[in-house]
Amino acid sequence: MNKKKDCEPYNPLPEYLAIGPSNIHGAGILAKEDIPGEVVIGITHIYDPNFQHNYIRTPLGGFLNHNEDANCELLDKDEDYHYKIIKTLRKVEAGEELTLKYSLYDICNYL
C-alpha cells in the first residue's frame, strides 16, 4: 500500500478546475488554466447498482453541463462499465466551461 498517497488530502477536482457560475445552467466546471486536447480529466461516474441510474456521480460528473458543441467526451474506463471518465476533445481555454453532449431525457441510454 502506498502510504504517501493515503496521506494526501482529498481534492474533489484537479487543481486546474473549479466549480463556478455557468452561462448554461446554474453551476459548472470551469478551466482555471488552458487544458490541451486529448487530456483525461478524471472520473465522473462510478458504477453502483444501488444508486439511481446505477451510477454515483463524482463532483466532476455532477457539474458537467450539456453543450451541442461539447469540448469533452464521456468514456468507459473499463469494459465492465465500472466507472466513466471525461477527456477533452480539443484545447479548453482558461475560463471556459467543460461540457459534454448528452440528453437529460435519455441519460440512461447515454451512460
Is the per-residue pLDDT at 110 higher than 60? no
Residue 9: band (very low, low, confident or very high) from pLDDT cuts 50, 70, 90: confident
What's the CATH architecture for 3-110? Beta Complex (2.170)
In this structure, what C-alpha cell is assigned to residue 13?
A: 477536482
Give per-residue pLDDT as tens, 11-40.
889 999 999 999 999 999 999 999 999 999
Locate the DSSP E strands across the chain.
17-21, 27-31, 40-47, 55-57, 65-66, 72-76, 83-88, 99-100
pLDDT tens string 29-78: 999 999 999 999 999 999 999 998 888 999 999 999 999 999 999 998 77
Domain boundaries, the chain: 3-110
Cell of 46: 462510478
Specify the amino acid at residue 18.
A
CB 45 within 8 A of CB 58: yes
